[in-house]
Structure 1
C-alpha cells in the first residue's frame, strides 16, 4: 500500500467534506471529548502549520503536558481560523511529510483517519473510509496502543463485519461492527448508540457531549 498516497487522498477527501458542512455542523460536538468539529479540524492541521521552535514554545507554556498543549492550541486556532481556512489547511498540505512523534507515516494516516471519523460519525455522516486504510490501522492495534489511547478491551473480542479482522481471545464477549467503528473503539472513543452489536457493545457506546470552552482536562491521548 502507498501510505503517503493514502494520506494525501484522505486529507483531500476530508477537506472536501469540510467544505460542505453547515455552520451548525461546524459547531456540533465531535467524538473527541470537549471538542467541536472545528476544534478537531484545527488540530488535524496543527502539525503542518507549526514549526519545531513554535512547538517547543507551546509545550513549555503547557508545562510539558502534551494533551494540555494540543487542547489549548486547538481551541485557539478553531476560534481564529475561518471554516474555509480550516478546510484549506488540510487540502493544501495533502502531501506534507509531518508524522506524529511516534509511529511514522502509518501513525500519520491513523491521525487523519481517526479524527476524520471523530467528525463524520458524530455528525451521522455516511462516509466510509476505504477498507485498505482501515485494515492497515487495525493491524497496528496492540496492548500498548490500547493503553496509550485509554481503550479497555478486557474480556472483549472485537469482530469486524466487513473485514477479516478480529482482536481478543475466543472467550471474550464479542463486539461486532464495521471495521472503522471498531477502529474508533481501539482509539478510545465512545460511539453513538446502535453502531455496535454484542453483549459488551453498550460498554463502548454512549452520549458524547461538549465540555465547556476553556476547560482542559487530562484525558487519554488523542491521535
Structure 2
C-alpha cells in the first residue's frame, strides 16, 4: 500500500474509533496540549473538510498565528456530533491534501500520533501497523519533520524499535516500541516511561527544547 493509501485507511480507522467512544471519553483531555479527544478529531477533520475561506478567515483573526488558527478551527469543528465527524473522515478519506514541506509522510504521521493522543489517555490498544510506524519513524528522524520534531532532539542518539524491526542513529541507546519512540520524538513525555537505555536520560533532558 502506498502512503496515500495508508493515509486513507488511517482516516477510516479513526472514524471507527470515534464512533466507538462515549460522551465521557470524547470529553477526556488528550495528550495534545489542552485539546480534548473530540477536539483532536476536529483537527483531523478540519485538515480535509474545512473550506479554504473559513480557514483563511480564522488565520486572519488569529493574527496569522497558525497554531492559534488551527486550535480555533479544531474547536469549531468539534462542536459537530461525533457521528458526523466520523462520517466526514470517511467521506474525505482519500482527500489528496498534501501539507507543505512535510508532505504525505507528515500527514500519515499526524494521523498516527493523534490517534495515540486519543488512545493512550483512554487506555486503548494502539494496533498500529508496523509498515506505517516505520514510515513515520523514518520521517521523524529524516530532517524534514518541521513542526513535529526539533532537529536536535534525536541527534547523536541511537534508537531501536525491535517490534517493528527499525533502528537509526549512533550514540547512547534509546530502546522501546516503535509507538513509544514515535510519541516521545513528537514531545509526548508520558511515553518516556516505556523506553530504556543509556540515552533515555539525555532524551528526557531535551524534551523541553
| Same fold at TM > 0.5 | yes
Please state how far the C-alpha of 1:122 moved relative to its aligned partner: 2.5
Deviations 1:87-142 (CA, angstroms, capped at 9, x unpaired): 22212211111122322222221221111121112222112211111111111223
Q: State how 1:9-24 maps to structure 2 within 5 Å.
A: 9-24=9-24
Unpaired segments ≥5 residues, structure 1: 206-218
Asked which structure has the greater RCO (Cα within 8 Å, sep 6+), the reply is: 1
Distance 1:66 1:36 in 2: 19
Deviations 1:175-200 (CA, angstroms, capped at 9, x unpaired): 22111221112222222564222345
2:65 is the counterpart of 1:65: yes
Which residue is 2:139 aligned to? Answer: 140
Distance 2:120 2:201 in 1: 17
2:8 is the counterpart of 1:39: no
Root-mean-square deviation (CA, aligned residues, Å) is 2.5
Q: State how 1:1-223 maps to structure 2 within 5 Å.
A: 1-78=1-78, 80-142=79-141, 144-145=143-144, 148-151=147-150, 152-153=153-154, 156-169=157-170, 171-172=171-172, 174-192=173-191, 194-201=193-200
Deviations 1:142-162 (CA, angstroms, capped at 9, x unpaired): 364466335523554321121
Greater share of helix residues, 1 or 2?
2
1:130 to 1:70, Cα distance in 2 relative to 1, 3 A: same
Aligned residue-pair number: 204
TM-score for the superposition, normalised by structure 2: 0.85
TM-score for the superposition, normalised by structure 1: 0.80
